[in-house]
A and B are shown apart, each in its own frame.
Chain A
Amino acid sequence: MATINHPTLTDESANAIRDQWLERLSALVKDVQEWAADLGWSTRQIETRLEDSEIGTYEAPALLLQMETTRALLEPIARSAPGADGIVDLYAMPAYDDIAHIYFIDDAWRLFHATPLQVGASTKVGFVILSKGELQKVLEGMRTNATQAT
């Protein structure tokens, strides 16, 4: 359903917030792209559209990952949520099944295995700092599940 989304901040502050978020996001995409390439996955950066009630609609980077017939998508969801300064999801494609949620909390990207909408101080226990090793575990788990499903 089409919606008109007017930013609630001034242009200047909206741009500053958006630039900071896109910079944070680009760094994450770059890291994941390098780690995935090291793990033997092919990657392709794409642009995705985000709607934000405060800063308006804008394009942001996302990352497609593929190894043989297993495909994944790293996709930004929102630049803020209660307890987090950025949310990015990892999906199994093409079904768009949730694999993991990645939250920016306390100046670090933290990975949480998929159970949506539970971010907040009381649920930080389940998070691990995102690293090449953690990404490898998630991607290998995805490949195993995909093999078992076929």
Chain B
Amino acid sequence: MPHKQHEWQQRVKNVEHEFLAIQLATEQLLDAAARDPSVFNNDLRARLLRQAAAKLDGTYLIRLFAEFETCLRLFWPTARTTDPPSRTRDLIDGIAATRRIPNDRLKNVHEVREYRNSLVHLREQTASVLSVSEARGYLCRFLGYLPPRW
């Protein structure tokens, strides 16, 4: 696992790249199917693809956050010389305090965490809906406060 700020930002960005590629491919395939339903040989995959496409943003937002959280858990022992807390909220707050990360940046990351929680735990939607690119921006800005390498 890398111990460099930029490599973790890059890993988060790479998830967005994968999302954009899959989104484009899905849209193209659904367009093709709309013009010619026989591309799916009349099986059920067209319906499944539509379901998957509808959940694509959420699926990749969960992956974005997983990369971010892994980075923070790896960084924590360097910053605090203890094991990282189990609660993600405490992990984020602890690192924000150690690195003196501005409150607006911290608030943005909690918005991503809350939205991710609403997706993972199928909670009633109370968190703000974020796009993959918005979430990537918030997470990468926060990671920008970690040291270049640790």
**Is A117 interfacial (CB 8 A cutoff)?**
yes
Contact with A along B6-17 (1 / 0, CB 8 A): 110110110011
| Minimum distance in angstroms from B66 CB to a CB of chain A | 9
Provide the residues of chain A in CB contact with B141, threshold 8 Å. Answer: 94-95
**Is B140 interfacial (CB 8 A cutoff)?**
yes
**Is A46 interfacial (CB 8 A cutoff)?**
yes
Provide the residues of chain A in CB contact with B53, threshold 8 Å. Answer: none
Find the A residue at minimum CB distance from B10: A48
Find the B residue at minimum CB distance from A75: B10
Provide the residues of chain B in CB contact with A96, threshold 8 Å. Answer: 9, 12-13, 16, 136-137, 140
A117 touching B13, Cβ below 8 Å: no
Given contacts A116-B20, A117-B24, contact A93 B144 (CB under 8 A): yes
Interface size on A (CB < 8 Å)? Answer: 13
| Minimum distance in angstroms from A44 CB to a CB of chain B | 11
Main secondary structure of the interface of B (DSSP, over half): helix
B9 touching A94, Cβ below 8 Å: yes
Among A106-143, those with CB < 8 Å from B are: 116-117
Give Cα A48 to B133, complex, Å: 22
Give Cα A49 to B16, complex, Å: 17
Provide the residues of chain B in CB contact with A75, threshold 8 Å. Answer: 10
A95 touching B137, Cβ below 8 Å: yes
**Is A97 interfacial (CB 8 A cutoff)?**
yes
**Is B109 interfacial (CB 8 A cutoff)?**
no
Give Cα A57 to B133, complex, Å: 26
Among A70-100, those with CB < 8 Å from B are: 75, 77, 91, 93-97
| Minimum distance in angstroms from B2 CB to a CB of chain A | 9
Provide the residues of chain B in CB contact with A93, threshold 8 Å. Answer: 9, 140, 144
**Is B143 interfacial (CB 8 A cutoff)?**
yes
| Minimum distance in angstroms from A89 CB to a CB of chain B | 9
Given contacts A46-B6, A49-B7, contact A94 B21 (CB under 8 A): no
Provide the residues of chain B in CB contact with A117, threshold 8 Å. Answer: 20-21, 24
Given contacts A117-B20, A117-B24, contact A95 B140 (CB under 8 A): yes
Question: Can you list 5 A-B contacts with CB-CB less than 8 angstroms, sorted by A residue number?
Answer: A75-B10, A94-B144, A95-B136, A96-B140, A116-B20
Chain A residues at the B interface, C-beta cutoff of 8 Å: 46, 48-49, 75, 77, 91, 93-97, 116-117
Chain B residues at the A interface, C-beta cutoff of 8 Å: 6-7, 9-10, 12-13, 16-17, 20-21, 24, 133, 136-138, 140-141, 143-144
Enumerate the 8 nearest inter-chain pairs by beta-carbon distance, A residue then B residue, closest first: A94-B144, A95-B137, A96-B140, A96-B13, A95-B141, A117-B24, A116-B20, A95-B140
With A49-B7, A116-B17 known, 15 other A-B pairs at CB within 8 A are A48-B10, A75-B10, A77-B17, A93-B9, A93-B144, A94-B143, A94-B144, A95-B141, A96-B9, A96-B13, A96-B137, A97-B137, A116-B20, A117-B20, A117-B24
